[in-house]
Amino acid sequence: MGQKFDEIIDSPVMLACFMDELLCRIATNAPLEDYRNQRAINQLVVIYFMVGRMTDGDFELPAVDPNR
């Protein structure tokens, strides 16, 4: 996918920050307005449910600042 992607995936801190930002943008509808993002959003929903199952539901989404 590219060098930047590998850097993000290989760093737990960068990956967590990336996922927080992605979830916040989805929560504020930013990527939902573009239909081309639908596949990625569908995959994120699947991942969310998988993580929920793996953690017995002990998973919380990051707080979203509605003023972003």
Characterize 44-55 residue by residue with b for buried, 16 or more Cβ atoms within 10 angstroms of its Cβ, and e for exposed.
beeeeeeeeeee
Say how many residues make up the chain. Answer: 68
Q: What is the pLDDT of residue 63?
A: 60
Answer yes or no: are the C-beta atoms of 66 and 28 closer than 8 Å: yes
Instruction: Give the number of C-alpha atoms closer than 13 A to the C-alpha of residue 13, restricted to the C-beta side.
Output: 0
Residue 33's pLDDT is 75
Structure letter (DSSP) for residue 5: H
Tell if the pTM clears 0.85, that is, is over it: no
Residue 3 banded pLDDT, cuts 50, 70, 90: confident
pLDDT value at 64 more than 80: no
Q: What is the mean pLDDT of the chain?
A: 76
